[in-house]
Amino acid sequence: MEDCVFCKIIKGDIPSKKVYEDDDILAFYDINPIAKVHVLVIPKKHITSLLELKEEDKDLLFHIFNKINEIAEIVGVAKTGFRVISNVGEDSGQAVKHLHFHILGGEKLPTR
Ligand code: AMP
Ligand code: ZN
């Protein structure tokens, strides 16, 4: 996906502050944090959003959620708590059309 910012981050064409990486996923700090800790977790495979998930992605999805717990430990929010968000489509304000999960924490988060 040539115009995708996150694909460029995966390729190393755009720098990022990496938290975790393996063959299938990458986690890095959000460039414009909305909480004290704000990390993005993305699959290396370009998937537009949750809406585009297919049966064949089930192992990948499990892997992402399994690693979200580990990443939360790495960035120090596992014990204090955190929120996981994935924006889908226009009303959600999804700006980057590459599936991603925001991990927010490090402080009390607004309830609305
Ligand atoms: P969303 O609105 O759910 O699509 O979120 C996209 C997120 O990507 C936003 O929180 C942006 O701050 C973040 N973002 C965009 N470009 C970069 C980048 N080059 N490095 C890190 N985070 C980015
Ligand atoms: Zn992409």
44 close to 25: Cβ distance less than 8 angstroms: yes
The Cα 103–Cα 31 span in angstroms is: 13
Check pocket membership of 49 for ligand 1, CB cut-off 6 A.
no
Read off φ and ψ for residue 104, nearest 5 degrees.
-115, 135
Domain residue spans in the chain? Answer: 5-105
Give the pLDDT confidence score for residue 89 in this predicted structure: 97
Active-site residues, by number, are: 100
Q: How far is the CA of 88 from the centre of ligand 1 (A)?
A: 14
Q: pTM for the full model?
A: 0.97
> pLDDT per residue over 61-94, tens digit each?
999 999 999 999 999 999 999 999 999 999 999 9
> pLDDT per residue over 19-76, tens digit each?
999 999 999 999 999 999 999 999 999 999 999 999 999 999 999 999 999 999 999 9
Q: How far is the CA of 59 from the centre of ligand 1 (A)?
A: 25
Class of domain 5-105: alpha beta
